């Protein structure tokens, strides 16, 4: 398959079941909601070393938030419910409770309930106040700038993590420009996050390493500087490869994000140095969710 | 299916215990069987069809017509369904109700919605003392649900209240929120003396400045983020509480009752 001069590989991305949750952070201004959201989703690019994958889903207008203030929706993904709950609580406590004027609300009503502010309330040292409004429990925790308002729980749902595609370009600036274009449009798709810095990964990994202590190492088959040294997947004109990883609440959400992202890359086309779209997988043996690139773009 | 309607034939001299006529107790009964039930009227037992004319079949949707202030225990322990009272209701309306809806077009007597657990009670007129309170000797009053009073409420509103909302468009009598453990009482009109007496936790939300006891301490003026969420939850009500023009998030906060646990609060609109 070729779109606008860009070859779409007959391969697939391989993804895994994860657990996910969403939280809504509000503040006096969007600026402070975003600062808190960025802190809460920081150091959360990969479950390999961060314990979770997290990202900002989108900015919310005041009429979309529970307290009528500007807000940001964030999502956190982890391999299991226990790990997700721990990450959520730790991050909420250190990054939202501490952030000026912030409030924290559930972003998923259904699913298994996990603690959001339920245990953060103890920071109130007995001065915290509970309010049960329309069946939802809120905690008002006295803090130095006034009150930190938080919903007690949020929903945890089954999700999919690890959807991905690779952008193969003739130069590094062209690969980055294509990925930026893809991320811009992918951020308009609900229920997905791209957890890596700016949504783009330049250090895709393969399973295993020559070093026993490492479970993953650089994906040498896609490293352009190793074209003459390894079993390369790259043709001579490819000078840079970047990857976009997508976590979503469902396979359909990731499908949609991949489709609009790949389309944005292809819109730049061969004229802008984009040669191929590929994807990362483990032979289909590890992850039950397969995203076939040519089917997605058909 | 039309609502099961009880129309009072005449007003008995003695008080009537209406508790056998709650929706959940009538489920599956034929009108003739319901008519044959007996109610305690003073010392006497009186057949339902001697006291009321019956019409309709839907036992989960009950209307009581010509009601007056001696019909006690209406919708006691109500589990589901709706009860509409045309006229006044007596004491213990909705006592211990577990869910469902009660609407009274007139006034209600003492202990309205006492020890209520869930559901909705609307009083178009005034309510007596101990709205949402605990029965004498009991430690827990209302534990959930919403009571909306469009008129005034008597003394001891929310006595020993544990959870839920009591919304009063008019005035509340003395000892409003007494011995309250938690929950919210909102009063648009004036409140009486000894507001929040021995209150442990909970919120008294006031539109008018109260006369406070010395055991309530001023915590200053604040903008509280939970108030818009609380007011939003009132928007579905047919009430002045749904009027966003009357909503606010800026309050003077008083903490008390310091003679007890002192974790309660009186929030006064500023």
Task: Give the pLDDT confidence of A47-76 residue by residue, as tens digits.
Answer: 888 999 999 999 999 999 999 999 999 999
| pLDDT at A286 > cutoff 90 | no
Q: How many CB atoms lie within 10 A of CB A209?
A: 13
> Are both A255 and A277 inside the same structural domain?
yes
Task: Provide the pLDDT for residue A283.
Answer: 79
Confidence band, pLDDT 50/70/90 cuts, at residue A215: confident
Q: Which of A126, A157, A188 is the last residue of a domain?
A: A157
> Where are any strands of DSSP class E within chain B?
3-8, 16-17, 38-41, 44-47, 52-55, 58-67, 71-72, 82-87, 101-104, 120-123, 143-149, 163-168, 184-187, 203-206, 217-223, 250-256, 264-269
Confidence band, pLDDT 50/70/90 cuts, at residue A275: very high
- Summarize the confidence of residues A21-45 as an average pLDDT: 97
CA A95 – CA A90 distance, rounded (Å): 8
> Are both A23 and A151 inside the same structural domain?
yes
> Are both A194 and A123 inside the same structural domain?
no
CATH number, domain containing residue A146? 3.30.70.520
Domain membership of residue A116 as a residue range: 19-157
Task: Give the pLDDT confidence of B164-220 residue by residue, as tens digits.
Answer: 999 999 999 999 999 999 999 999 999 999 999 999 999 999 999 999 999 999 999
Instruction: Please check whether residue A64 touches B, CB under 8 A.
Output: no
CA A183 – CA A195 distance, rounded (Å): 11
Share of chain B above pLDDT 90, in %: 100
Task: Provide the pLDDT for residue B28.
Answer: 92
Contact B228 A67 (CB under 8 A): yes
Task: Provide the pLDDT for residue A87.
Answer: 97
Is it true that the peptide bond before B246 is cis, omega within 30 degrees of 0? no
Calculate the CA B214 to chain-centre distance: 29
Chain-wide mean pLDDT for chain A?
95
B225 CB neighbours in chain A (<8 A) are 67, 69, 103, 140, 146-147, 149
| pLDDT at A37 > cutoff 90 | yes
Q: Which phi and psi angles does A263 have, rounded to 5°?
A: -65, -40
> Are both A249 and A172 inside the same structural domain?
yes
> Are both A150 and A165 inside the same structural domain?
no
Is the CA virtual torsion A198, A199, A200, A206 positive or negative? positive
| pLDDT at A285 > cutoff 80 | no
DSSP chain A: -EETTEEE-S-EEEEEEEEEEEEEEE-SSHHHHHHHHHHHTSS-S-HHHHSSEEEEEEEE-GGGSTTSS-EEEEEEEESSHHHHHHHHHHHIIIIITTSTT-EEEES-SSSEEEESSTTGGGGGTT--EEEEETTEEEEEEEETTEEEEEESEEEEEEEEEEEEEEEEESSHHHHHHHHHHHHHHHTTSTTEE--SGGG-BS--EEE--SSTT-SEEE-GGG-GGGTTTS-----TT--EEEEEEEEESSHHHHHHHHHHHHHHHHHH-GGGTEEEEE---STTSS-SEEEEHHHHT-
Q: Which of A114, A140, A157 is the last residue of a domain?
A: A157
> Are both A291 and A191 inside the same structural domain?
yes
Q: Which of A157, A185, A210 is the last residue of a domain?
A: A157
Task: Provide the pLDDT for residue A211.
Answer: 95
| DSSP designation for B230 | H
- CB nearest to B226's CB, from A69, A126, A138: A138
Going from the first residue of chain B to its last (270 residues), give the mean pLDDT of each consecutive group of 10, the final group possibly shorter: 94 97 94 95 96 95 97 97 98 98 98 98 98 97 97 98 97 98 98 98 98 97 96 96 96 96 96
Interface test with B, best of A131, A142, A144 (most B CBs within 10 A): A131
Task: Provide the pLDDT for residue A48.
Answer: 83
> Are both A134 and A236 inside the same structural domain?
no
Is the CA virtual torsion B43, B49, B52, B56 positive or negative? positive
| pLDDT at A222 > cutoff 80 | yes
> Are both A95 and A209 inside the same structural domain?
no
Task: Give the pLDDT confidence of A191-202 residue by residue, as tens digits.
Answer: 999 999 999 999
> Are both A67 and A139 inside the same structural domain?
yes
| pLDDT at A281 > cutoff 90 | no
> Are both A169 and A142 inside the same structural domain?
no
Contact A130 B228 (CB under 8 A): no
> Are both A130 and A167 inside the same structural domain?
no
CA B177 – CA B185 distance, rounded (Å): 7
> How many structural domains compose chain A?
2
Task: Give the pLDDT confidence of A114-135 residue by residue, as tens digits.
Answer: 999 999 999 999 999 999 999 9
């Amino acid at each position: 398959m070729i779109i606008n001069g860009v070859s779409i590989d007959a391969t697939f991305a391989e993804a895994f079941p994860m657990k996910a949750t969403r939280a809504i952070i509000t503040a006096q201004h969007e600026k402070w909601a975003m600062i808190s959201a960025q802190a809460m989703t920081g150091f959360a690019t990969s479950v390999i070393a961060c314990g979770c994958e997290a990202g900002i889903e989108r900015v919310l207008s005041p009429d979309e938030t529970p307290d009528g203030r500007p807000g940001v929706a964030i999502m956190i993904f982890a391999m299991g419910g226990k790990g997700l709950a721990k990450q959520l609580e730790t991050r909420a406590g250190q990054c939202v409770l501490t952030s000026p004027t912030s409030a924290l609300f559930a972003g998923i009503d259904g699913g298994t309930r996990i603690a959001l502010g339920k245990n953060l309330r103890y920071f109130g040292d007995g001065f915290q106040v509970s309010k049960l409004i329309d069946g939802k429990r809120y905690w008002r925790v006295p803090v130095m700038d006034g009150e930190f308002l938080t919903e007690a729980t949020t929903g945890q749902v089954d999700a999919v993590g690890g959807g991905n595609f690779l952008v193969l370009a003739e130069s590094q600036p062209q690969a980055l420009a294509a990925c930026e274009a893809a991320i811009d449009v992918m951020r308009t798709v609900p229920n997905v996050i791209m957890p890596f810095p700016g949504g783009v990964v330049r250090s895709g990994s393969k399973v295993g390493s020559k070093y026993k202590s490492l479970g993953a190492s650089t994906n040498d088959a896609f490293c352009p500087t190793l074209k003459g040294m390894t079993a390369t997947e790259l043709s001579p004109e490819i000078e840079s490869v970047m990857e976009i990883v997508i976590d979503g609440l469902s396979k359909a959400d990731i499908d949609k994000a991949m489709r609009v992202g790949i389309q944005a890359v292809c819109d730049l086309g061969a004229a802008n140095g984009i040669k191929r779209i590929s994807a990362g997988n483990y032979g289909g043996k590890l992850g039950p969710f397969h995203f076939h690139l040519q089917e997605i773009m058909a | 299916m039309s609502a099961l309607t009880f129309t009072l034939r005449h007003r008995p001299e003695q008080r009537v215990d209406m508790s056998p006529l709650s929706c959940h107790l009538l489920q599956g009964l034929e009108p003739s069987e319901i008519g044959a039930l007996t109610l305690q009227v003073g010392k006497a037992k009186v057949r339902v069809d001697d006291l009321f004319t019956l019409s309709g079949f839907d036992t989960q949707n009950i209307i009581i017509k010509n009601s007056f202030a001696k019909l006690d225990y209406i919708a006691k322990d109500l589990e589901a369904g709706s009860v509409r009272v045309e006229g006044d209701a007596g004491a213990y309306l909705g006592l211990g109700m577990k869910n469902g809806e009660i609407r009274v077009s007139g006034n209600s007597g003492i202990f309205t919605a006492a020890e209520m657990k869930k559901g909705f009670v609307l009083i178009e007129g005034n309510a007596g003392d101990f709205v949402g309170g605990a029965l004498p000797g009991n430690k827990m009053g209302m534990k959930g649900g919403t009571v909306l009073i469009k008129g005034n409420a008597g003394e001891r509103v929310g006595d020993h209240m544990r959870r839920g909302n009591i919304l009063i468009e008019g005035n509340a009598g003395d000892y409003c929120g007494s011995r309250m453990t938690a929950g919210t009482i909102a009063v648009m009109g004036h409140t009486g003396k000894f507001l929040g007496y021995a209150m442990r936790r909970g919120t008294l939300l006031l539109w008018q400045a109260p006369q406070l006891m010395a055991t309530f301490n001023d915590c200053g003026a604040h903008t509280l983020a939970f108030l818009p969420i609380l007011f939003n939850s009132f928007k579905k009500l047919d009430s002045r509480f749904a009027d966003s023009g009357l909503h606010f998030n800026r309050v003077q906060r008083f903490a008390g009752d310091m003679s007890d646990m002192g974790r309660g609060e009186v929030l006064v609109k500023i």
